[in-house]
A and B are shown apart, each in its own frame.
Chain A
Amino acid sequence: MTLDTVKNAEQTPEADQPWSELGLKADEYARIREILGRRPTGAELAMYSVMWSEHCSYKSSKVHLKQFGEKKPDSDAMLVGIGENAGVVDVGQGYAVTFKVESHNHPSYIEPYQGAATGIGGIVRDILAMGARPVAVMDPLRFGAADHPDTRRVLPGIVAGIGGYGNCLGLPNIGGEVVFDACYQGNPLVNALCVGVMKHEDIHLAQASGAGNKVILYGARTGGDGIGGVSVLASETFDATGPAKRPAVQVGDPFQEKLLIESTLEIFAEKLVLGIQDLGGAGLSCATSELASAGSGGMRIELDTVPLRDNTLSPEEILMSESQERMCAIVEPGKVARFLEICEKWDVIATVIGEVTEGERLEIFWHGELVVDVPPRSVAHDGPTYNRPYARPSWQDALQADAPTAERLARPSNGEELKAALLAVAGSPNQASKSWITDQYDRYVIGNTVLATPEDSGMIRIDEETNLGVSVATDGNGRFTKLDPYTGAQLALAEAYRNVAAGGAKPLAVSDCLNFGSPEDPDVMWQFAEATRGLADACLVLGTPVTGGNVSLYNQTGETAIHPTPVVAVLGVIDDVTRRTPIGFAEEGQLVYLLGD
């Protein structure tokens, strides 16, 4: 294959391009041609296609997510809001906490162990990139019916993957959820949350400024994993027989990630970086375009300097590769040597792959030939925005009318019936003890876990001298949300809020993972619109801003969407963790109160 350079693109305007296979729509492809004033090169097309995918561009959800900003409650606690890798919250005593929940649903269905493992890896790098030391993880999960044969394939792999990766990183697992419901049979939900702690002055942002500053790629070598994964995996629907395409699956290396964490924290401590970004979905396409567009000036990358695991990769593939455990940093020339030294200490490969330039373009070269020449903002931020049609489903009234209200639900009228009802509840997999899962997770490592399973919220001490701590709970109820998306999202928030308060912490901020079906279905889009509206309204009332989160769409099997499942995480602060309130009765003779009505 000949190299598709910018010059070549200019000379061959009519060349056929696989924009459709890469998930782009005709009008999106036309937009790209308009932005560039020519046809894109293969490498440019790769970048636009991954960055403009639903997963990276939030093109269907953006118009609704805006409300989290518009209805943002006044809060002194927000240090960094939506838009960065993760939001940052002031928790006092000079400390800041960052937390975020993300999904890895589709990859985990295809390859449960690696899908879930790399889900943990991805969210941990997001938190690290903010300048924080990751201190805990949580894992809200949804599976199909407990007795379905495919649950047997999916569940043990997912749990082992979360444990395998999180345990090896040395991050305590302080909570999560396990819910079984047939609606998740062909589309389990694997959401992962990470909490990180830093001092205010350590906050780092993803931006590249200052001409002459170096772009350093460090961590794992780049391989052929997950190429096209972003656009295909996260945006296409599975049919009932399983995944139609089997794109390369990413394999995680938690040991490499542990080294990445330690080296990065040492690099932060010595103040060696100006801007930093993790490589997640969309890999280098995302990191370079986001860093460049958030800064001033342009960027020049020599793509052939990227260390490869597979020497046959083309520039397009290198730009799209989702190889795990990589980060990209902007470093002043005078600090490069020390940066590389720290990486060497931790056996982490680090390479200068380019620099910040005076111009306004992101230019990428392959053995001296220009293969990408784009305005970085057009890749990272100016993706399409859809106002998808939505309408209250025709079946919504019937569904609500059929709901078991107090009047219609037959109450047990005798001992036998009461026993049967009790046994039915007690025997439900959703009520059963989760210890067979949580016993596979390390909750002790780091030695700061104050509350973890089976408590209402997870709580972590962040200062051993003052006993300052934070707590997090996640909740979500797809059945409620299906019945009434507006209220269902609010219920999820209220429950997580209560769980944090019950442990003794003051709720401060919210992160959310919005798991829904196809946005192209007006019914689903209505659920999404209602749930976001409900969540934004409730956050305003409770005074807890949404600091960030993640949207996962196309969660469906064939035409059937999962229950709309917004998972809401609430973060709280407690100034003295020794005053925490565990669940359970501590001593005989204590009084029991019921609060609320």
Chain B
Amino acid sequence: MTTRVGVVTFPGSLDDRDAQRAVRLAGAEPVALWHRDKDLHQVDAVVLPGGFSYGDYLRCGAISRFSPVMDTIIEQAKLGMPVLGICNGFQVLCESHLLPGALTRNDSLHFVCRDQKLRIENTGTAWTRDYSAGQEIVVPLKNGEGRFVADEHVLDQLEAEGRIVARYLDVNPNGSYRDIAGITNAAGNVVGLMPHPEHAVEPLTGPTTEGLGFFTSVLKQLVNA
């Protein structure tokens, strides 16, 4: 049986088709999920894609967080279902309190789109098993509100528990505290990531294909489970 990975479309989601393509290239079956539908249609994992859901009005992810599909995803995530939030999806995960902290306006005050070098810090999550510890990858980054902030206590705890999944290398593009590009929950099934691995899955259209590992990782995790 093929692994089914759901990709949620909120009003204003943009990278949903890209995430579906990445899921397909990794060998799984992408399943489109609609924000108004509570039913997850028997998916094994969920991706919350990038974009400007609800125009990023109020705060990024703040309105989407209250959509019906999120009720089910929050419930399932707590039961261990793998969930990856990319960019806007990361913001939704923070607003849902599945992940700590918040994502705020870039310190440059500008939207930034660049090929970003990252170091994978934790290969124990559902979404990073296919990387090697300390592996450096380059994937696109594009955000206006990607500066991860949390209070010192939370940051220390994330460090101590190894819950920082990826850090920015060379350039910190948005002023994220402690160069944080992505984090995980304590169980390792929920991961939020500011950069866009789904835009680095084909040599033709991405700077590298080094983003594919996130999607193959979850496949292995689910097959082995």
Interface residues of A (CB under 8 A from B): 160, 163-164, 167-170, 253-256, 258-259, 346-347, 438-450, 461, 464, 577-578
Contacts and interface: CB of A to CB of B under 8 A. Distances in A.
Determine which residue in A164, A170, A259, A450 has the highest number of CB atoms from chain B within 10 A of its CB, and name it: A170
Given A170-B14, A255-B54, A255-B57, A441 B113 contact: yes
Interface residues of B, number: 29
Contacts of A254: 52, 55
Contacts of B52: 167-168, 170, 254-255, 258
A449 B202 CA distance: 11
Contacts of B144: 167
B55 A439 contact: no
Interface in B175-225: 196, 198-199, 202, 204-206
A447 B205 contact: yes
B111 to A, nearest CB: 5
Contacts of A442: 111, 113, 142
Determine which residue in B11, B50, B202 has the highest number of CB atoms from chain A within 10 A of its CB, and name it: B11
Interface string B75-112: 00000000000000000000000000000000000111
B15 interface: yes
A443 B113 contact: yes
B196 A255 contact: no
Given A258-B12, A450-B205, A444 B51 contact: no
A510 B62 CA distance: 43
A449 B205 contact: yes
A167 B57 CA distance: 14
A443 B55 CA distance: 18
A440 B113 contact: yes
B54 A444 contact: no
Contacts of B51: 170
A446 to B, nearest CB: 7
A464 B30 CA distance: 16
A254 B15 CA distance: 16
20 contacts: A160-B110, A167-B52, A168-B12, A255-B11, A258-B12, A440-B110, A440-B112, A441-B111, A442-B113, A443-B113, A446-B14, A446-B17, A447-B17, A447-B18, A447-B198, A447-B199, A447-B202, A447-B205, A448-B205, A450-B204
B142 A444 contact: yes
Given A168-B56, A254-B52, A255-B57, A444 B17 contact: no
B38 interface: no
A321 B17 CA distance: 35
Contact of A439 (B14, B113, B202): B113
A76 B217 CA distance: 49
Interface of B: 11-12, 14-15, 17-18, 21, 50-52, 54-57, 110-114, 140, 142, 144, 196, 198-199, 202, 204-206
Given A447-B199, A450-B204, A461-B205, A440 B11 contact: no
B217 to A, nearest CB: 20
B199 A255 contact: no
Given A163-B111, A444-B206, 15 more contacts: A160-B111, A167-B144, A254-B52, A255-B11, A255-B56, A258-B11, A258-B12, A258-B52, A440-B111, A440-B113, A442-B113, A444-B205, A445-B15, A445-B199, A447-B21
A490 B179 CA distance: 50
B196 to A, nearest CB: 7
A445 B55 CA distance: 16
Given A253-B55, A258-B52, A445 B14 contact: yes
B17 A439 contact: no
Contacts of B202: 447
A445 B49 CA distance: 11
A164 B111 contact: yes
A445 B88 CA distance: 13
Contact of B112 (A170, A256, A439, A450): A439
B168 to A, nearest CB: 15
B30 to A, nearest CB: 13
A398 B204 CA distance: 51
Q: Which 8 A-B pairs have the closest CB atoms?
A: A255-B55, A170-B14, A447-B18, A444-B199, A168-B52, A444-B140, A442-B142, A440-B111
A160 B108 CA distance: 13
Nearest to A448: B205
A489 to B, nearest CB: 33
Contact of B11 (A346, A444, A445, A450): A346
Contacts of A578: 204
Contacts of A449: 205
A465 to B, nearest CB: 12
Contacts of B112: 439-440
A158 to B, nearest CB: 13
Contacts of B198: 447
